[in-house]
Amino acid sequence: MSDALMLLMACVAGAALGVVFFGGLWWTIRKGLTATQPALWFLGSLLLRMGIVVTGFYFAAGGQWRRLLACLLGFIIARLVVMRRAGAPLDPRASRGEEAGDAP
């Protein structure tokens, strides 16, 4: 395969890993806000997401720094896309019916 095609494939793999990582983070935050044990959700999610991404980067890079950079570029692009698709940050006060100016 040509070098350009391999770099493109590494970039696509990085984008897929980014969607898994940041999409999983978004999902974890939404579930963690209502969970009875949010620390377990966040810790378990972090370990799972990091394991998937590190393993994916290892195989996508194949020991070549150019592929690693292409994978990282795809990962960053996926971050921007997921941030845009996820929308505005959640406001926990809105779910409890509190106003922004209310004292605790």
Residue 93 in contact with residue 33, Cβ under 8 Å?
no
Nearest 5°: phi and psi at 88?
-70, 150
pLDDT band at 103 (very low <50, low <70, confident <90, very high): low
pLDDT band at 93 (very low <50, low <70, confident <90, very high): low
Q: What is the pTM of this model?
A: 0.78
pLDDT of residue 85: 84
Q: Where are the alpha helices (DSSP H) in the chain?
A: 3-32, 38-61, 65-86, 92-96
Rounded Cα–Cα distance for residues 90 and 62 (Å)? 39
Rounded Cα–Cα distance for residues 25 and 12 (Å)? 20
Residue 66 has pLDDT above 90, yes or no: yes
Q: What is the mean pLDDT of the chain?
A: 87
Mean pLDDT of 8-14: 96
